Structure 1
Amino acid sequence: MVSCMTAKQSENPSIVILREGTEDSQGKPQIISNINACQSIVDVVKTTLGPRGMDKLIHQQRSVTISNDGATIIQLLDIVHPAAKTLVDIAKSQDNEVGDGTTSVVLFAGELLNQSKQFIEEGMHPSVIIKGYREAMTKSIDRIRECSIKIAEEEGRRDILKKCAQTSLNSKIISKYKEFFSEMVVQAVEILESDLDKSFIGIKKVTGGSVTDSFLVEGVAFKKTFSYAGFEQQPKKFVNPKICLLNLELELKSEKENAEIRLDSPEDYQKIVDAEWTLIYEKLEKIIASGSQVILSKLPIGDLATQYFADRGLFCAGRVPNDDLLRLAKSTGGVVQTTVNGLTDDVLGTCGVFEEKQLGNERYNFFTQCIGTKSCTIVLRGGADQYIEEAERSLNDAIMIVRRAVKANAVVAGGGAIEMELSRFLREYLRSISGKQQLVINGFAKALEIIPKTLAENSGMDSTDVLNKLRQKHTQDAEDGIWFGVDVINGRCANMYKEFVWEPELVRINVISAATEAACTILSVDQTIKNPKSEQQQAEAAGRLQGTSQQGRPRPQMGRGIRGRGGK
C-alpha cells in the first residue's frame, strides 16, 4: 500500500511495505537473541550427558516419558522459537543417521554459538565466524580420520563391536546390564544381510519379569492377534510347516449401504447370497490345496475362515502387523500374496518350528529355526512400562552404533578423549595462521572442550581440574595421551581406549559436522520477520472460536426464533 501525499509532502514520501502489525527485528540484537534461545535448549539437555547424567520427566496430558536420550527429550519439548528449532533438526538428523550422540550434538552446537556470542558483541562480522568454523570443522574431521583405529577383519572384530555397544549403553538406564545386552545387539546385527536394514530387527515389549529375562529370537515373534471363535481349536505348534502370507481379507462382506439390486423373485436373492458363500469357500479351498499349514494375513480373517481352518487342523491369524509380515517374508522365504490363485511352493515360506507360547500376560507366536534367517526379534521384559520404553530407546541407539561400526570399520575413544585431541590439534594449527580466523578457530577449540567438561560436571568431578590434567596429557604424551579422557565411572582421567570406551568414528564426525552447520545457519540469520495473520485468517479463527464450545460441541444459537414466511 502506497500512501498518497500532497505536493508539499512529496519531498519525503512515506512508503508502507509490510502489513500493519508485522514484527521485525534485525541486526546484532537479533543474532544475540537467537543464540540465547538456543542456549536455553542446551541447558535443558546438558545434565543428561554421560553415564552419570540425569533423566528428564516430560509430562504431556496423560503420557509421561522418562528419558535421558537427547533426541527424545527435544522432540517432546514444544519448542516454538524459530531459531531454537534448528537444534531439534540436528538432534533428529543425528538420531536418524547414527542413532547415538544426540545430546552431544546439541551441546556442541550450543557451545559454538556461545563462543561466537563474544565475537558478535565485539563487532566481528558473522561471515568471518562462519568461515572460521567451517575451516576448523574440515581440519577436525580430517584429524579424526587420521587418528581413528581401523577394525581389521579378524577374530577381535566382534569384541570391538561389543565394546562399541557397551559404550553406547553406558549412559542408558540399562547400563548395569550392558554386557548382557551388548551380546544380544551384536548377535542381532550379525543376523542381518549386508545392507544392515534395521527394520528387520523387531523389538517387542512384554511387561513382567526382570530385564534379564529379555531374549533374542532368531526369527520372528509377535503378539497373538485378534481372533474369532474356533481359534482355540486350532493346533498351536507345527514342525517344518508351510506358511502362506496374504494381504487378503478372508471373511464375508456385507453389501454397501447404497447398493441397489432389483430382483424378480426370492430365488434370485438366494443366488446372490449363495454366490458370496461360494466365493469365500473357493478361496479357502485353494489355500488348503496349496498345502499351507499356517495362514497369516495383514487383513482380517473372519469367524467362518477361522472355524474352517480349525476343522482341518490348520492355524490362521489375521490383522498381522505389516512390519512383522515383512520380517516373516524375509525369514521364511515366503512372498506376500494379494490373491489365492497360484499359491505354489515357491511363494510359500517355511520354518523349523512354529509355536504359540505364553509370555507374561500375553500369548506370542514364534517362528524359529528358519533356513537362512535374515531377521530377528528382541523380546524386552521389565517391571514397569516406563522402564521398558526407555530400554527400547537404549537398544535402538546401541543397534545403530553397531551398524555404523560395521560399515565404517573405524573407531575412536569416547569419554571426551577425541574432543580434547582435536582441541589440542587446532591450537597447534593456530600458530600457522593469523588474523581474525585465529580467534575464531581458537573459539572452536574451546567449544570442543564442553564435552569432557560436562561429563566431569555430571559425575561430580572438578571440571577445571579435569580439563587441566587432560590438556597436560594430550600435550606431553603424543602417542599414549591421544586417547586420555574422563573416566566418570572411577572419577579420574584415564586412557579411554584401554578402558574399552569405543565408538565409531562416524558418530564424532557427524556430531561435529551437524553442530557446525547448525551454528553457521543460526549465525547467518540477522533479521526475523513475523507476518501478522490476515483479516481473513483472523475472521476464520474468530468464527471457529464462536461456533465451538469448550467441549468441542457446536454452540446453540441463542435469541433466534422460528418464523413462518409471513411471520413478524
Structure 2
Amino acid sequence: MSYRQTPTIVVLKEGTDTSQGRGQIVSNINACLAIQDTLKSTLGPFGSDILLVGSDGKTTITNDGATILKKLDVVHPAAKILVDISRSQDCEIGDGTTSVCLLASEILKNCKNFIEEGMSSNSIIKGLRDSCNLAIKKIKDLEINLEEKSQEDEYDMLIKCALTAMNSKIIQQNGEFYAKLVVDSVLTLDRDDLDENLIGIKKIAGGAMEDSLFINGVGFKKTFSYAGFEQQPKTFTNPKILSLNVELELKAEKDNAEVRIEKVNDYQKIVDAEWGIIMDKLNKIVDSKCNIVLSKLPIGDLATQFFADRGIFCAGRVANDDLDRIIKAVGGSILTSVNEINIEKDLGTCDKFEELQIGSERFNIFNGCPKSKTCTLILRGGSIKIIDEIERSLHDAIMIVKRALKNKQIVAGGGAIEMELSKYLRDYSHQIKGKKQLIIQSFAKSLEIIPRQLCENAGLDSIELLNKLRNFHANGEIFYGLDLDSDNVANNLEKFVWEPSVVKINALESATEAAILVLSVDETIQNKENDQGGAPGGAVPRGRGMPMPMGM
C-alpha cells in the first residue's frame, strides 16, 4: 500500500505576518480605542489642547480632531480607518471631526463584548446599519427648517451656528467678533458655488486677536520691489487695474548664448532692439490709461521707475491665487500680451486701492470691489502658533456656515440630539426580539458618549446630568441638552446652541461605516519589507521544500 504525502505549499513570502479570527477583530477594536483615548479630552468648549511635535521639531498646539490625527503617525491599519473618516468629515463638512472618531470608537467598544461572546460579526453589522438608518430618519423628523426666514433672521441664524462651532476652539472668548467675520466672509461668496477657497487668509504675528481685519475684496502682502517703488502713489480712488502674466524686465543673455557680429554698431543694434521691445511694452501699458499694473512675473527696476514717473503703481511676482481672486473681485482678465489691450473688457476697478502698514507688514488692499465674490481675512495674534490655531478654528466655522447656508435645517446642539436619538432607539428596541435588540441598544448607548464626554471635559458629574437629560427627553423635551455656562441642562434651541443637521447625519453615517469596516475584517496579512531580489509585496506564490510525491 502506498501513501502520498501532501506537498508543503508556501503562498506568502517568508516572514509574512498573518493573524485572523475573533482575536484579530478584538485587536483592531483595541487599536481604535487607543485613538479614542487620545482624542476624547479635546471635545467641547472645555476640551484641552494637545501639543504635537513633528519629526522636524515643529510644534502644533490644537484641539482639532482632523489636525491631531493628521499630525499623529498612526501605523496600525485598523486605526488608520479613523484617520480617514476624520479627514472625510473635515473635507465634506468641516466640523465634527472629533465627534465622528469618538462615535465610531464607542460603537466598536460596545460591540466588543458581542464579538468576545461569539456573536457573528455579520449579525452585528446588520444591526448597526439598521440602527444608523433609524437614527438618520429620526434626525430628519426632528430638524427645524429655517428656509422661510428673512434676511436678518438668516444672518442671526448663521451667527449662532458659527458661535456653536467655535465653542470648543481657542477663539471662544472672542466668539462674537470672529463669528461676524466668518459670516460676512461666507456671504460675500457666490451663493450658487460657495467656494471657501475664495476666502483668502493672511497671517501677521503681533497685535491682539481682535485686531484681525475683514476686507471685502482682496489684500496681499507687498511683493518684492525694485528701486523706484517708493516713488509710486500708494492710494487710488476708482483705479483702473491691469492684470498681466508678462515679464517686464531686461534679461541678461544666457551663459551659452552666442552672437557673432562683425561691427561694433551691430552690437548696439542688438542692445537697442532689446530696449525697444521692453519700451514698446511699457508705452502700450501706459496708453491703456491704467493706474495699477499687477503681474505674476517680475517687474524690473526699469519698468518700476518708468511707472513711478507716470504715477502708476505696479507689483510683480503676485501669487497665482491672489491674482485669481483679484480678477474675480475687480473684473477684467489676466493678459499674456500687452498688444491690443481692450480698455472696456480687460481692465478691472474697485472703489479704493491703498497700501497699508499692518503690524510689521505692508499690504496692498483692494476695497469695495464691484464684482466681489471673494474676500480676505487678515488674522492677528500674539504668535504664529496661535494664529495657525485661529485659522484652523475659522476653517471649521466657515464650513459650518457654508453648510447652514446650503442646507437650512438645524438641530439643537450640546448633546441634545444624541440624547433624543438614544431614547428613540431604546424605545424602538423594546418592540423587536432577538440579537438585533441588543445591537440597537448598544448603538443607543454609544450615542451618549458625546454628552458624557462634554460633561467630563468640563469637570461636571456626567452621571447626574445624563440622568437629568434622560428624564427630560422621556417627558418629550426633545431640545434639552447640556448648558455648560450654567453647569446644568437647558433647552438648547432657545439658548441658540444650533448645529446644521447635515453635520450630525454625516458623522453618524461615517462613524457607522467605519465601525462596520473594522468589524468585517477578521484577517490581517502584513508583509515584511521586500528583501533584495524578492517578489514585490510578497504576493507571488512560491513553493519551498516541496518533496517529490511518494509511490510513483
- The CA distance in 2 between the partners of 1:9 and 1:270, in whole Å, is 100
**Pairing of 1:364-443 with structure 2 (within 5 A):** 364-443=363-442
- The CA distance in 1 between the partners of 2:229 and 2:235, in whole Å, is 13
Contact 1:100 1:398 (C-alpha < 8 Å) held by counterparts: yes
- The CA distance in 1 between the partners of 2:371 and 2:518, in whole Å, is 50
Partner of 2:112: 117
Partner of 2:184: 187
- The CA distance in 2 between the partners of 1:124 and 1:519, in whole Å, is 16
**Pairing of 1:469-488 with structure 2 (within 5 A):** 469-476=468-475, 478=476, 481-488=477-484
Q: Given the alignment of the two structures, is residue 36 of structure 1 paired with residue 30 of structure 2, yes or no?
A: yes
Contact 1:354 1:368 (C-alpha < 8 Å) held by counterparts: yes
The range that moved more, 337-346 or 95-104, is 337-346
**Pairing of 1:152-191 with structure 2 (within 5 A):** 152-154=148-150, 155-191=152-188
- The CA distance in 2 between the partners of 1:264 and 1:37, in whole Å, is 79
Q: Which has the higher contact order (CA 8 A, sep 6+)?
A: 2
Partner of 1:549: none
- The CA distance in 1 between the partners of 2:365 and 2:444, in whole Å, is 53
- The CA distance in 2 between the partners of 1:190 and 1:205, in whole Å, is 21
- The CA distance in 1 between the partners of 2:2 and 2:342, in whole Å, is 93
Partner of 1:507: 503
Contact 1:251 1:302 (C-alpha < 8 Å) held by counterparts: yes
Q: Which amino acid aligns with 2:113?
A: Q
**Pairing of 1:200-215 with structure 2 (within 5 A):** 200-215=198-213
Partner of 1:100: 95
Q: 1:357 to 1:9 in 2, by over 3 A?
A: farther
Partner of 1:559: none
Q: 1:258 to 1:175 in 2, by over 3 A?
A: same
Partner of 1:556: none
Q: Which amino acid aligns with 1:402?
A: V
Partner of 2:548: none
Unaligned regions of 5+ residues in structure 1, if any? 1-6, 541-568
Q: Which amino acid aligns with 1:68?
A: N
SS at match of 1:507: helix
Q: Which amino acid aligns with 1:355?
A: E
Aligned with residue 24 of structure 1, among 5, 18, 25: 18
SS at match of 2:112: helix
Aligned with residue 334 of structure 1, among 332, 335, 342: 332
Question: How far does the alpha carbon of each residue in 1:358-410 deviate from its partner, in whole angstroms, 9 at most, with x for none?
Answer: 11111111101222322111121112222111111111111111110010011
Q: Which amino acid aligns with 1:74?
A: L
**Pairing of 1:499-538 with structure 2 (within 5 A):** 499-536=495-532
Q: Which amino acid aligns with 1:94?
A: Q
Aligned with residue 315 of structure 2, among 314, 317, 323: 317
Q: Which amino acid aligns with 2:15?
A: G
The range that moved more, 70-79 or 299-308, is 299-308
In the superposition, the TM-score normalised over structure 2's length comes to 0.93
Partner of 2:252: 254
- The CA distance in 2 between the partners of 1:273 and 1:425, in whole Å, is 84
SS at match of 1:307: helix
- The CA distance in 1 between the partners of 2:4 and 2:334, in whole Å, is 77
- The CA distance in 1 between the partners of 2:4 and 2:280, in whole Å, is 88
Contact 1:161 1:405 (C-alpha < 8 Å) held by counterparts: yes
Partner of 1:308: 306
How far has the Cα of 1:338 moved from its partner? Answer: 1.9
How far has the Cα of 1:531 moved from its partner? Answer: 1.7
- The CA distance in 1 between the partners of 2:246 and 2:132, in whole Å, is 53
SS at match of 1:18: coil
Q: 1:312 to 1:437 in 2, by over 3 A?
A: same
**Identity, % of aligned pairs?**
56
Contact 2:328 2:371 (C-alpha < 8 Å) held by counterparts: no
Contact 1:51 1:489 (C-alpha < 8 Å) held by counterparts: no
- The CA distance in 2 between the partners of 1:89 and 1:277, in whole Å, is 57
How far has the Cα of 1:264 moved from its partner? Answer: 4.2
Unaligned regions of 5+ residues in structure 2, if any? 537-552
Question: How far does the alpha carbon of each residue in 1:120-162 deviate from its partner, in whole angstroms, 9 at most, with x for none?
Answer: 1111121111111111111111111111111123232211111
- The CA distance in 1 between the partners of 2:246 and 2:23, in whole Å, is 62
- The CA distance in 2 between the partners of 1:468 and 1:300, in whole Å, is 67
Contact 2:42 2:63 (C-alpha < 8 Å) held by counterparts: yes
SS at match of 1:11: coil
How far has the Cα of 1:274 moved from its partner? Answer: 2.9
Partner of 2:342: 344
- The CA distance in 2 between the partners of 1:527 and 1:539, in whole Å, is 22
Question: How far does the alpha carbon of each residue in 1:97-142 deviate from its partner, in whole angstroms, 9 at most, with x for none?
Answer: 1111111011111111111111111111211111111111111111
Q: 1:9 to 1:256 in 2, by over 3 A?
A: farther
Q: Which amino acid aligns with 1:527?
A: E
Partner of 1:446: 445
Aligned with residue 80 of structure 1, among 75, 91, 95: 75
Q: Which amino acid aligns with 2:240?
A: K
How far has the Cα of 1:433 moved from its partner? Answer: 2.3
How far has the Cα of 1:526 moved from its partner? Answer: 1.2
Contact 1:328 1:334 (C-alpha < 8 Å) held by counterparts: no
- The CA distance in 1 between the partners of 2:532 and 2:184, in whole Å, is 59
How far has the Cα of 1:21 moved from its partner? Answer: 0.9
Partner of 1:58: 52
Partner of 1:557: none
How far has the Cα of 1:272 moved from its partner? Answer: 3.1
- The CA distance in 2 between the partners of 1:441 and 1:486, in whole Å, is 24
How far has the Cα of 1:215 moved from its partner? Answer: 2.1
SS at match of 2:532: helix
SS at match of 1:482: coil
- The CA distance in 2 between the partners of 1:9 and 1:360, in whole Å, is 89
Partner of 2:42: 48
Contact 2:235 2:353 (C-alpha < 8 Å) held by counterparts: yes
Partner of 1:490: 486
**Cα-Cα RMSD:** 1.8
Aligned with residue 6 of structure 2, among 12, 18, 38: 12
Q: Which amino acid aligns with 1:34?
A: N
How far has the Cα of 1:209 moved from its partner? Answer: 1.7
- The CA distance in 1 between the partners of 2:306 and 2:127, in whole Å, is 73
Q: Given the alignment of the two structures, is residue 294 of structure 1 paired with residue 292 of structure 2, yes or no?
A: yes
How far has the Cα of 1:537 moved from its partner? Answer: 6.8
- The CA distance in 1 between the partners of 2:234 and 2:534, in whole Å, is 61
- The CA distance in 2 between the partners of 1:538 and 1:318, in whole Å, is 53
Number of residue pairs aligned between Structure 1 and Structure 2: 531
Q: Which amino acid aligns with 2:422?
A: S
In the superposition, the TM-score normalised over structure 1's length comes to 0.90
Contact 1:168 1:398 (C-alpha < 8 Å) held by counterparts: yes
Contact 1:411 1:505 (C-alpha < 8 Å) held by counterparts: yes
Partner of 1:199: 197
SS at match of 1:536: coil
- The CA distance in 1 between the partners of 2:230 and 2:73, in whole Å, is 47
How far has the Cα of 1:241 moved from its partner? Answer: 0.7
SS at match of 1:365: strand
Partner of 2:539: none
Q: Which amino acid aligns with 2:250?
A: L
- The CA distance in 2 between the partners of 1:135 and 1:493, in whole Å, is 30
Q: Which amino acid aligns with 2:510?
A: A
How far has the Cα of 1:534 moved from its partner? Answer: 2.6
Question: How far does the alpha carbon of each residue in 1:204-234 deviate from its partner, in whole angstroms, 9 at most, with x for none?
Answer: 1122221111221111111111111111111
Contact 1:299 1:319 (C-alpha < 8 Å) held by counterparts: yes
Q: Which amino acid aligns with 2:64?
A: D
